[in-house]
Amino acid sequence: MPNPTATLDTSLGKVKVEVFLDKMPITATNFIKLAKAGFYDGLHFHRVINGFMCQFGCPHSKDPLSPRAGTGDGPDGTVKDEHPPDAKISNEPGTLAMANSGSPNSGSCQFFINTVHNSYLDFFTPGASKHPVFARVIEGMDIVKKIESTPTDGDDRPRTPVRMNKITVEGA
Protein backbone atom coordinates (compact mmCIF):
# COMPACT_ATOMS: atom_id res chain seq x y z
CA MET A 1 0.00 0.00 0.00
CA PRO A 2 1.47 3.39 -0.95
CA ASN A 3 2.25 6.03 1.62
CA PRO A 4 -0.26 8.86 2.11
CA THR A 5 0.36 12.28 0.63
CA ALA A 6 -0.36 15.71 2.04
CA THR A 7 -0.87 18.95 0.14
CA LEU A 8 0.39 22.03 1.96
CA ASP A 9 -1.60 24.94 0.55
CA THR A 10 0.43 28.03 1.51
CA SER A 11 0.00 31.71 0.70
CA LEU A 12 2.90 31.31 -1.77
CA GLY A 13 1.59 28.15 -3.49
CA LYS A 14 1.11 24.43 -2.99
CA VAL A 15 3.62 21.80 -1.89
CA LYS A 16 2.84 18.07 -2.05
CA VAL A 17 4.65 15.65 0.24
CA GLU A 18 4.84 11.90 0.67
CA VAL A 19 4.38 11.01 4.35
CA PHE A 20 6.55 8.04 5.43
CA LEU A 21 3.88 6.17 7.38
CA ASP A 22 5.64 2.89 6.50
CA LYS A 23 9.03 3.87 7.98
CA MET A 24 8.17 6.49 10.63
CA PRO A 25 4.72 5.49 11.95
CA ILE A 26 4.78 7.46 15.23
CA THR A 27 5.92 10.77 13.75
CA ALA A 28 3.90 10.37 10.54
CA THR A 29 0.70 9.44 12.41
CA ASN A 30 1.12 12.48 14.66
CA PHE A 31 1.45 14.77 11.62
CA ILE A 32 -1.50 13.16 9.81
CA LYS A 33 -3.74 13.37 12.88
CA LEU A 34 -2.98 17.07 13.38
CA ALA A 35 -3.41 17.86 9.67
CA LYS A 36 -6.75 16.04 9.43
CA ALA A 37 -8.00 17.84 12.55
CA GLY A 38 -7.25 21.21 10.92
CA PHE A 39 -4.61 22.05 13.54
CA TYR A 40 -2.19 23.51 10.98
CA ASP A 41 -4.76 25.52 9.03
CA GLY A 42 -4.19 29.27 9.41
CA LEU A 43 -0.77 28.99 11.08
CA HIS A 44 2.33 30.78 9.71
CA PHE A 45 5.94 29.82 9.06
CA HIS A 46 7.62 31.35 12.10
CA ARG A 47 11.30 30.62 11.38
CA VAL A 48 12.88 30.74 7.94
CA ILE A 49 16.63 30.58 7.41
CA ASN A 50 17.89 30.82 3.82
CA GLY A 51 20.36 28.03 3.14
CA PHE A 52 19.02 25.91 6.02
CA MET A 53 15.28 25.32 6.53
CA CYS A 54 11.70 26.62 6.89
CA GLN A 55 9.97 25.88 10.23
CA PHE A 56 6.26 25.64 10.81
CA GLY A 57 3.53 24.25 13.06
CA CYS A 58 3.54 26.26 16.29
CA PRO A 59 -0.02 27.03 17.48
CA HIS A 60 1.13 30.48 18.63
CA SER A 61 1.98 31.36 15.02
CA LYS A 62 -1.70 31.88 14.16
CA ASP A 63 -0.70 35.45 14.97
CA PRO A 64 2.38 35.83 12.72
CA LEU A 65 3.80 38.51 15.04
CA SER A 66 3.38 36.57 18.28
CA PRO A 67 6.58 36.55 20.37
CA ARG A 68 5.56 33.05 21.50
CA ALA A 69 5.71 31.62 17.95
CA GLY A 70 8.03 28.63 18.02
CA THR A 71 7.32 27.70 21.66
CA GLY A 72 4.03 25.81 21.46
CA ASP A 73 3.06 22.15 21.46
CA GLY A 74 0.12 20.38 19.89
CA PRO A 75 -3.08 19.49 21.76
CA ASP A 76 -1.73 16.05 22.72
CA GLY A 77 1.60 17.37 24.02
CA THR A 78 4.85 15.75 22.98
CA VAL A 79 5.49 12.51 21.14
CA LYS A 80 8.09 9.81 21.70
CA ASP A 81 11.27 10.16 19.66
CA GLU A 82 11.31 7.79 16.73
CA HIS A 83 14.72 6.45 15.75
CA PRO A 84 14.16 3.12 13.94
CA PRO A 85 17.41 1.42 12.90
CA ASP A 86 15.94 0.38 9.54
CA ALA A 87 14.68 3.88 8.61
CA LYS A 88 17.80 6.00 8.46
CA ILE A 89 16.45 8.81 6.29
CA SER A 90 18.81 11.78 6.14
CA ASN A 91 17.80 15.46 6.45
CA GLU A 92 18.28 16.08 2.72
CA PRO A 93 16.84 18.98 0.73
CA GLY A 94 13.06 18.69 0.51
CA THR A 95 12.63 16.41 3.52
CA LEU A 96 10.37 17.24 6.46
CA ALA A 97 11.69 16.56 9.95
CA MET A 98 10.27 16.80 13.46
CA ALA A 99 11.40 19.91 15.30
CA ASN A 100 12.12 19.68 19.02
CA SER A 101 13.65 21.62 21.88
CA GLY A 102 16.85 19.57 21.86
CA SER A 103 15.72 17.42 24.76
CA PRO A 104 14.65 13.79 24.27
CA ASN A 105 10.97 13.21 23.45
CA SER A 106 10.26 16.96 23.05
CA GLY A 107 8.81 16.93 19.51
CA SER A 108 5.14 17.70 19.12
CA CYS A 109 3.53 19.59 16.24
CA GLN A 110 6.35 21.65 14.77
CA PHE A 111 8.37 20.49 11.80
CA PHE A 112 10.81 21.95 9.31
CA ILE A 113 11.48 21.54 5.62
CA ASN A 114 15.19 21.13 4.91
CA THR A 115 16.41 23.28 2.03
CA VAL A 116 19.97 21.92 2.07
CA HIS A 117 21.49 18.64 3.26
CA ASN A 118 21.59 19.00 7.06
CA SER A 119 23.12 15.60 7.82
CA TYR A 120 24.27 16.75 11.26
CA LEU A 121 20.58 16.80 12.28
CA ASP A 122 20.12 13.10 11.49
CA PHE A 123 19.17 10.96 14.48
CA PHE A 124 21.78 8.39 13.43
CA THR A 125 24.80 10.74 13.36
CA PRO A 126 26.93 11.77 16.35
CA GLY A 127 25.85 14.89 18.16
CA ALA A 128 23.03 16.26 20.27
CA SER A 129 20.56 17.25 17.52
CA LYS A 130 18.20 14.42 16.61
CA HIS A 131 15.48 15.23 14.08
CA PRO A 132 13.72 12.26 12.46
CA VAL A 133 12.62 12.74 8.85
CA PHE A 134 8.99 11.71 8.28
CA ALA A 135 8.15 13.04 4.80
CA ARG A 136 9.59 14.44 1.58
CA VAL A 137 8.50 16.97 -1.00
CA ILE A 138 7.34 15.31 -4.23
CA GLU A 139 5.91 18.44 -5.90
CA GLY A 140 6.43 22.15 -5.27
CA MET A 141 10.07 22.46 -4.27
CA ASP A 142 9.96 25.79 -6.12
CA ILE A 143 7.39 26.96 -3.53
CA VAL A 144 9.67 25.79 -0.69
CA LYS A 145 12.45 27.87 -2.27
CA LYS A 146 10.10 30.90 -2.38
CA ILE A 147 9.39 30.45 1.33
CA GLU A 148 13.10 29.99 2.06
CA SER A 149 14.03 33.22 0.26
CA THR A 150 11.35 35.32 1.98
CA PRO A 151 13.02 38.33 3.66
CA THR A 152 13.12 37.91 7.44
CA ASP A 153 13.64 40.06 10.51
CA GLY A 154 16.37 39.57 13.12
CA ASP A 155 14.51 36.60 14.63
CA ASP A 156 14.28 34.70 11.31
CA ARG A 157 10.55 35.54 11.11
CA PRO A 158 9.28 36.34 7.60
CA ARG A 159 8.63 40.08 7.25
CA THR A 160 5.67 39.27 5.02
CA PRO A 161 3.85 36.39 6.77
CA VAL A 162 3.71 33.06 4.94
CA ARG A 163 0.42 31.40 5.87
CA MET A 164 -0.58 27.74 5.75
CA ASN A 165 -4.08 28.00 4.35
CA LYS A 166 -4.81 24.29 4.72
CA ILE A 167 -3.15 20.88 4.78
CA THR A 168 -5.10 18.12 3.04
CA VAL A 169 -4.14 14.46 3.54
CA GLU A 170 -4.95 11.74 1.01
CA GLY A 171 -4.53 8.00 1.39
CA ALA A 172 -4.65 7.80 5.20
Residue 26 near residue 82 (C-beta atoms within 8 A): yes
4: DSSP letter: P
Residue 66, burial from CB neighbour count under 10 angstroms (0-12, 13-18, 19+)? middle
Give the phi and the psi of residue 156 in degrees, each rounded to 5.
65, 20
Pinpoint the alpha helices (H) of 49-157: 141-148
Residue 99 near residue 112 (C-beta atoms within 8 A): yes
Sign of dihedral through CA atoms 167, 95, 50, 72? Answer: positive
| Catalytic (active-site) positions | 47, 52, 55, 100, 112, 121, 131
Residue 116 near residue 93 (C-beta atoms within 8 A): yes
